[in-house]
Amino acid sequence: MKKHIFTIFALLAFAPSVSAWNGALHTAIASIADANLTPEARTKIEAALGDHSIAYYAHWMDDVQHKSEYQHVRDWHNVALSPKGKILSAKKADKSASDVVRRADALDGLARAVAALQNRNNLSAQELADNIRYVVYIVGDLHCPSHYVFTDLLEARKMKYQIEKEKKPRSYMRFWEGEAVTATFAWKNNEFVHQLNRLSPERVAALTDGSVMDWVVENAKIYRPIYSYLEPDQHFKRKEYRAWLNKSYEMATDQIGVAGYRLAALLNGLFDESMPKKSIK
Amino acid sequence: MKKTRFTILATLLTLMVGTNAWGWGRDVHATITYIAERHLTPQAKANIEACIDGRSIVYYASWMDNHQEESKMWRHSSYYDKDTHKPVGTAYTELSTTIEKLGDYKSLSETECRHRLYHLLHALGDFHCPGHTYFQNADRSFKRNTHYNVVWIDNKETSYHTVWDILLIRYLRSAFGYMDFGHSLDCNIPQQYVEQVTAGTLYDWMCETANRCVHIYDKFPKRKKGTPKEELGHFDLDLVQEYSRLADEQILKAGLRMAKVLNESFGK
């Protein structure tokens, strides 16, 4: 038994990283979405979530994926793409493909959750709440630059960098999950809303136009260049690091707002019949 | 007597923001610009945001710190010209120019307008930081500045400058973001107070800041480099209480004055 427990822990310890935006940024995305829900959608959603807002459950999926009943969500973080930006199906991936590619199943997870919510009369209260929480989380992750797995850039995902006087190098993928934003802005949750929930209706309409896959394709074009921002094992002096941060914070921060608007559009379409429905494909 | 003292002080002081002196932390800069934003006229707010892609002015509160290469024209490695015995390239002169130029912002190129705005949003805040009031001594040296060590309440040695830039506010207000902090300071302020604080010019505000902040040196005279820790001044919890009001008031004043400058420039 002891041996089994050790094996399980060892497997967990060496499992590929499935981390996402940090909790604060997931919450910011959900809060911006919350500010853009229609009253009807918000009423129905909060009733399903036990009178909690979507922001309350923004990173819930991260918090439960260690449980046996939620193991399936561990692969719902990343999207895999060909060098030309074509979305690849994790299910159809070749067995020889990298583990991170075979586990990049976020779009399938989102499609399943959306389909379940479209037929929510068949769901139990628990299933209804879970599927809303999946949508809230996965749409956030689909706007995190490091969650786009380009098959020709797998080695680049392992890049690290080191800042002077620090003992350990930092992971470049981790950088995009928080520091790309928080190293520049120390905003609290309501402040993300104050800063980012201010786009014109025309701009919001343009950002939320199209399907979820259109959003992913568009994001992939924005995110692919991040792999050219850093040299492998790059060392920074403090001042150099600050200048380097300036390449990334504006885009990373703006994507928090974009994710919030799109999440609202998706949820409004699901829970308010007067609103246009968003499709996955 | 008070007036004479003030005049002498005003003549002797030169107040600057240095490259190696950072200034308030980003939380305070965000709070100052947020207070300013709350006091903008609708017209000024619309005109300003049209210049900065619809963003809030708070977004750019620390742009100068983040983009040091692009803002180096406002950062000065020397505060004092030994040959001419005059302060050169001072932050005061530069900020005066920026305020003047923003007064006719429509004549500026898009880039200059943005950069002048970013400069104002940051530098006017730093002007109100007590640790950034450097006093010119009678021999024209700049010995009265906060670049020497004290012992902070956690018993660690730190720069007195850092105490005013960051540690004091972080200790007192770490639970606040800029919105909470801004609301707590800018809460039911009488219009009469706003008018009183925003009266005068940038030069008047400098002099007032200097006069209010000079006493921060009284309890912490400069110590020689290498002074043993036990002989350094200790910034204890009593001092945190004593100085918190000064720091809070400076932040509020900076925000109100920033709004005044912005309204005058962009509210036409």
pLDDT of residue A95: 75
Q: How confident is the model at residue B18 (pLDDT cuts 50, 70, 90)?
A: very low
B184 shares contact with chain A (CB less than 8 Å) = no
pLDDT of residue A91: 79
Bridge partners of residue A105, in order along the sequence? A79
pLDDT of residue B74: 62
CB-based contact B55 A195, cutoff 8 Å: yes
- Mean pLDDT to the nearest integer, B150-167: 90
CATH of the domain at B245: 1.10.575.10
Return the CATH superfamily for domain A9-271. Answer: P1 Nuclease (1.10.575.10)
pLDDT of residue A8: 44
- Mean pLDDT to the nearest integer, B232-258: 94
Render pLDDT for B201-222 as a digit per residue (tens, 0 to 9).
998 898 888 888 888 888 888 8
CA atoms within 13 A on the CB side of B192: 0
More confident residue, B75 or A134: A134
Using the predicted structure, report yes or no on whether residue B1 has a pLDDT greater than 80: no
- Mean pLDDT to the nearest integer, B1-15: 45
More confident residue, A124 or B21: A124
Q: Which of B59, B66, B68 sits opposite A195 (nearest CB)?
A: B59
CB-based contact A186 B177, cutoff 8 Å: yes
pLDDT of residue B220: 83
Interface contacts A/B by beta carbons within 8 Å: 43
Q: Which of B26, B68, B179 sits opposite A190 (nearest CB)?
A: B179
Domain segments of chain A as ranges: 9-271
Q: Which of B66, B67, B177 sits opposite A191 (nearest CB)?
A: B177
User: CA-CA distance, A255 to A29, in Å (whole number)?
Assistant: 9
E strands, B9-137, in order:
none
Using the predicted structure, report yes or no on whether residue A90 has a pLDDT greater than 90: no
8 Å CB contact between B150 and B217: no
User: CA-CA distance, B104 to A243, in Å (whole number)?
Assistant: 31
Q: Which of A194, A199, A200 sits opposite B179 (nearest CB)?
A: A194
The nearest CA of chain B is from the CA of A189 a distance in Å of 9
pLDDT of residue A199: 97
User: CA-CA distance, B31 to B9, in Å (whole number)?
Assistant: 29
Q: Which amino acid is at B107?
A: S
pLDDT of residue A20: 65
Q: How confident is the model at residue A10 (pLDDT cuts 50, 70, 90)?
A: very low
Of A174-178, A184-188, B78-82, least confident by mean pLDDT is B78-82
pLDDT of residue A214: 97
Using the predicted structure, report yes or no on whether residue A93 has a pLDDT greater than 80: no
What average pLDDT is seen over chain B?
Answer: 83
Of A17-26, A116-125, B74-83, least confident by mean pLDDT is B74-83
pLDDT of residue B203: 84
Using the predicted structure, report yes or no on whether residue A54 has a pLDDT greater than 90: yes
Residues of A with CB under 8 A from a CB of B: 184-188, 190-191, 194-195, 198-200, 239, 242-243, 245-246, 249
User: In chain B, what residues touch A238 (CB-CB under 8 Å)?
Assistant: none
B138's tokens: 């009678």
B256 shares contact with chain A (CB less than 8 Å) = no
pLDDT of residue A18: 47
Quote the domain boundaries for residue B113: 2-266
CB-based contact B67 A184, cutoff 8 Å: no
User: CA-CA distance, A212 to A150, in Å (whole number)?
Assistant: 18
Q: Which of A185, A200, A243 sits opposite B69 (nearest CB)?
A: A243
Q: How many domains does chain B have?
A: 1
Render pLDDT for B161-180 as a digit per residue (tens, 0 to 9).
899 989 999 899 888 999 99
Using the predicted structure, report yes or no on whether residue B154 has a pLDDT greater than 80: yes
More confident residue, A15 or B70: B70
